Amino acid sequence: MKGRNLLMIPGPVEFSPSVTEALSRPTDSHVSPSFINTFGEALEKMRSVWMAPDGYPFILAGSGTLAMDSAGSNLVEQGDRVLVISSGYFGDRYAELLKRYGARVTVISAPPGSVPDMSAVEDELKGGGYSLMTFTHVDTSTAVRVNPVPVGELGEKYGVITVLDGVCSVAAEEIRQQECGIDVVLTASQKAVGVPPGLALLVVSERAMEKWRNRKSPVGNYYADWSNWLPVMTAYLERKPSYFGTPAVNLVEALNVSLTEILAEGMDARFYRHRRIGRGIRAALKSMGLSQIPENDSVSANTLSAPYYPEGVEGPSFLKKVAALGVTLAGGLHPANRQKYFRIGHMGVAAGNDLVSTIAAIGTALNSCGYKTDTGAAVNALIAEL
Ligand code: PMP
């Protein structure tokens, strides 16, 4: 009896009770020894969750777009060539953002549902002159997942800094930042990291820091400038007080709780659990006869799914019926086909009973919209994978 619907959108998601309890504690001073210790611990745990033991972690008050802005504004100078690998809406957003900082941007994109061609990426890099390359691990508009391994390899081969937008992937999809040689892995609190919206999180490699240190021009964004934040993060790691902008105290405390829970589950176990959940939801949707945006399983995200409405089912009325059954889902987002599909988030603490309720609500709502499907069979298809 939570007094509200089950939140199964691709962020914000359902949060663990200890995370919401941490948020409700009285707000501490941001320079108290206990908060400094919490902040320092959260930074250290980010290195473990990101699998980047030598990385520079940042916790900033802001949303995921600030994390994108932080990497973009600090790593780009006027006239730099940047390659954006776009698998949907958020890749296109990154291209726009980088142009604001004077980047000369080339976008390699793919139609909704597929991953941009890595040989086209390599051909472009061979042409030379690129200093930065960005990609979206899971594009939340298409539920397409890009394998970070070949992108990291190309970045290292051609000496190009790589930035992974992991807003819809970090702490759920497999990403081993240091092993993959990805220079920046960024995310936000409200998705698989399991904390309400309000924190922008990123871990930066030594190579990217070196590029930033060697800038010839000042960073074109005052709030995001790492010269303001790096001393603060370094101080907190050394358990010393520091100040540039007031941190989101309660959210940082909640983050420390959530990261502790994530590490207690174990990263490999967590990746595996999300793979099973992803497979289960896709199997249930398939059993209901719904086709999905990602063109095949190997490019499908495990953090969200994006099924098309069946013929004759109107999106707004279907989503309303699902909500009336106690489950909140999201509509489409990609401008090319946003009216034609919906999105189900299934990351973080989403458990078997949440998933069963979600599939049952989808099946029931489809039937009441006039599309006949066997809800029980769909639930069984889900459970078989869990
Ligand atoms: N990138 C991706 C992949 C996202 O899913 C989102 C949010 N849905 C963002 C960036 C932007 O994050 P925010 O809305 O927190 O600014």
Q: What is the pLDDT of residues 273-285, one digit of tens each?
A: 999 999 999 999 9
Ligand 1 pocket test, pick from 65, 84, 97, 195 with the greatest ligand atom count within 8 Å of Cβ, gives 65
Co-location of 55 and 124 in the same domain: yes
Cα torsion for 380, 382, 385, 386, to the nearest 10°?
Answer: -100
Ligand 1: centre distance to CA 145 (Å): 15
> Is the Cβ atom of 174 under 6 angstroms away from ligand 1?
no
pLDDT value of residue 2: 64
Tell me the two tokens of residue 361. 């609500």
Co-location of 282 and 235 in the same domain: no
Model confidence at 21: pLDDT above 80: yes
> Rounded to two decimals, what is the model's pTM?
0.97
Ligand 1: centre distance to CA 247 (Å): 20
Choose the final residue of a domain: 265, 290, 316: 265
pLDDT value of residue 36: 97
Model confidence at 220: pLDDT above 60: yes
Beta bridge partners of 279: none
Instruction: Provide the CATH number for the domain around residue 216.
Output: 3.40.640.10
Ligand 1: centre distance to CA 168 (Å): 7
Co-location of 158 and 43 in the same domain: yes
Co-location of 98 and 245 in the same domain: yes
Mean pLDDT, the chain, as a whole number?
97
Tens digits of per-residue pLDDT, 327-350?
A: 999 999 999 999 999 999 999 998
Ligand 1 pocket test, pick from 94, 136, 145, 167 with the greatest ligand atom count within 8 Å of Cβ, gives 167
CB atoms within 10 A of CB 117: 12
Instruction: State mean pLDDT over 237-248.
Output: 97
Co-location of 270 and 250 in the same domain: no
Co-location of 52 and 110 in the same domain: yes
Domain residues for 307? Answer: 6-11+266-385
Co-location of 88 and 192 in the same domain: yes
pLDDT value of residue 4: 80
Co-location of 337 and 381 in the same domain: yes
Q: How confident is the model at residue 289 (pLDDT cuts 50, 70, 90)?
A: very high
Co-location of 211 and 300 in the same domain: no
Residue in 214, 198, 207, 201 with CA at minimum distance from that of residue 169: 201
> Is the Cβ atom of 303 under 6 angstroms away from ligand 1?
no
pLDDT value of residue 161: 98
1 in any annotated domain: no
Answer yes or no: are the C-beta atoms of 304 and 136 closer than 8 Å: no
Neighbouring residues of 289: CB distance < 8 A, sequence distance ≥ 6:
310, 373
* Amino acid letter, 311: E
Answer yes or no: are the C-beta atoms of 35 and 26 closer than 8 Å: no
Model confidence at 1: pLDDT above 80: no
Buried b (16+ CB within 10 A) or exposed e, 273-312: bbeebbbbbbbbbebbebebbbeeeebbbbbbbbbbbbee
Cα–Cα distance between 12 and 159 in angstroms, integer? Answer: 36
Model confidence at 14: pLDDT above 70: yes
Q: Where are the strands (E) in 41-97, listed by range?
A: 56-61, 81-86
Split into its structural domains, the chain has a count of 2
